[in-house]
Amino acid sequence: MKLFTTKQIAGIDKFTIENEPISDIDLMERAALQITHWLVKRFSTEQKMVFFAGPGNNGGDALAIACQLANLDFVCEVFLLDFGKELKGSPAVNWKRLEEQNKVKLVKFKDESGFPELGLTDVILDGMFGSGLSRPLEGFPAAIVEEINQLENTKVAIDIPSGLMGEDNSLNIPGNIIKADFTLTFQFPKISFLFPENETYTGKWEVLPIGLHPGGIEQTPSNTFFIEEEDVKKTIASRSKFAHKGNFGHALLIAGSFGKMGAAVLASRSCLRAGVGLLTTHIPRLGYSIIQTAVPEAMTSIDQHDAIFTEFPDLSAFSAIGVGPGIDKKRNSQKALCELLEKAKVPLVIDADGLNILSENSEWLQKLPGKSILTPHPGEFKRLVGNSSNSYERIQQQKEFAQKYHTIVILKGAYTVIATPNGQLFFNSTGNPGMATAGSGDTLTGILLGLLAQGISSEAAAIAGVYLHGLAGDLAAREKSEPALIAGDITDYLGKAFIELNKETN
């Protein structure tokens, strides 16, 4: 799914009105109805619905929802923030409708002294500002936000928590943004919802489709995407009856050191589960019996060194190479990595200590084989690329880095972000907090390597790899729970993730 800026969404909104065609007020009614349905399912008529409405269409939505809920026997009250200007357009029509309906208490207020007393079970609906927010909130609306945030009541934000920008919040005022428990957003997730620091404002968010025109969506350009099942299905082709292991590539994984052989085992197992034809795992000498016992399906290449990575086998046989999980950063390993970068002719997947070595030798980044995949977590990213003061800034850095070094950068997190050399960004939609566990990254490296070795392009392997990794984690968490989930479970559930992906097509 393409992701858009709030400005672009307003454009698609306009396109829909002109081309469906549908009147402004009817589109607002349709959007409001989606939220009304959601509220009816979740709350009872015993709970009063208290709306805070702003001067624009976000306020107009709030008025429409109040009207719809009142017709369904909910007790509603509307508090309209009065900026001394008459309401215009659809919000004005909805205000009139409410007056005529005569079921909802309607109050206009100009300053915080007009802030109402609320009952403990009242639900607060935030319809003050949505995608039309043009600057941080200050003065009267900021004071109302502060009052609302102090209350324990359940808070539901309409489209966007008031005060939050749809993309960049670098210059925003954190205290002047609604902290919602739920955000019900129209048609597309807003980009800022995907950043960890904004969870405190959005709470749990859900996308409610409102039937924006497909033509408008199609013709609006975007280089930012939300990865969904459809985007991955096309990458995972069904296998020919006559397929043999030679059709699915030969991966080389360089992993493990003394005390960290688990990383080699986890990455090897998930590489195999990702469907690679052959896997050779290169490990220090002391890891030999560990890997042979834990992963009998893998062939081994044994380093001359007992405890660390210092050399690698002839590379001509391999269709992709993974390096990093558990390798440590000793001087000889650094030298060997440098030589690997110089000799490799196929894309690499570089993770963990592989990335840390690169951070300490940034001039080697020039040597990266084209379309290699780097998989930093935020700490590794900071060491590799530098500091950033927020997630928005960080993804800009990520984009520039991917373009500069012609690599794919996978920044791991709740919504893992993939940056590609052509300036595109892909946010992953799968995964859960249970996956924040030791070795989870090693399993991702294995999956990426396994897909890459099968001849899948680096971009497609990155997109499919992070999606499958998250999906396997989601399936595992359903049975194991989030706290009890361990990295090996992700590998074990990879098969179910493939089955889930193929469900509808077969």
Ligand X SMILES: NC(=O)C1=CN([C@@H]2O[C@H](COP(=O)(O)OP(=O)(O)OC[C@H]3O[C@@H](n4cnc5c(N)ncnc54)[C@H](OP(=O)(O)O)[C@@H]3O)[C@@H](O)[C@H]2O)[C@H](O)CC1
Binding interface with ligand X (CB under 6 A):
9-10, 13, 27-28, 31, 54-61, 129-135, 137, 141, 158-160, 186-187, 210
Query: Quick one: 58 or 176, whose CB is closer to K ion?
Result: 58
Which option in ligand X, K ion, none does residue 162 bind, with CB closer than 5 to 8 A by kind?
A: K ion
How many whole angstroms separate alpha carbon 265 and alpha carbon 431?
22
Query: Is 158 a residue that touches K ion (CB under 5 A)?
Result: yes
Query: Quick one: 208 or 307, whose CB is closer to ligand X?
Result: 208
Length of the chain in residues, anyone? 506
Q: How wide is the angle at C-alpha 505 spanned by C-alphas 503 and 506, nearest 5°?
A: 75
How many whole angstroms separate alpha carbon 495 and alpha carbon 479?
15
Smallest gap from Cβ 101 to ligand X, in A, equals 19
Query: Is 477 a residue that touches K ion (CB under 5 A)?
Result: no
Query: Is 53 a residue that touches K ion (CB under 5 A)?
Result: no
Query: Is 458 a residue that touches K ion (CB under 5 A)?
Result: no
Whole-angstrom distance between the N-terminal and C-terminal Cα of the chain? 23
Residue pair 380/471 in contact by the 8 Å Cβ criterion = no
Structural Rg of the chain based on CA atoms: 26
DSSP string, 411-436: E-STT-EEE-TTS-EEE-----GGG-
How many whole angstroms separate alpha carbon 465 and alpha carbon 288?
28
Is 134 labelled a binding residue? yes
Sign of CA dihedral 198, 201, 207, 212: negative
Question: 459 φ, ψ to 5°?
Answer: -60, -50
Which option in ligand X, K ion, none does residue 415 bind, with CB closer than 5 to 8 A by kind?
A: none
How many whole angstroms separate alpha carbon 286 and alpha carbon 30?
65
Which one among 29, 77, 126, 442 touches K ion, defined by CB under 5 A? Answer: 126
Q: How many CB atoms lie within 10 A of CB 136?
A: 16
Smallest gap from Cβ 164 to ligand X, in A, equals 11
Query: Is 162 a residue that touches K ion (CB under 5 A)?
Result: yes
Is 326 labelled a binding residue? yes
Which option in ligand X, K ion, none does residue 353 bind, with CB closer than 5 to 8 A by kind?
A: none
Which option in K ion, ligand X, none does residue 27 bind, with CB closer than 5 to 8 A by kind?
A: ligand X
Query: Quick one: 29 or 442, whose CB is closer to ligand X?
Result: 29
Q: Which residue has the tokens 């499919």?
A: 464
Written as six digits, the tokens of 149 are: 């945030």
Smallest gap from Cβ 495 to ligand X, in A, equals 39
Q: Which residues bind K ion (CB under 5 A)?
A: 58, 126, 130, 157-158, 162
Question: Annotated binding site for (6S)-NADPHX, which residues?
Answer: 57-61, 130-136, 159, 263, 326, 377, 442
**Which residues define the annotated binding site for K(+)?**
58, 126, 162
Binding-site residue set: 57-61, 126, 130-136, 159, 162, 263, 326, 377, 412-416, 441-442
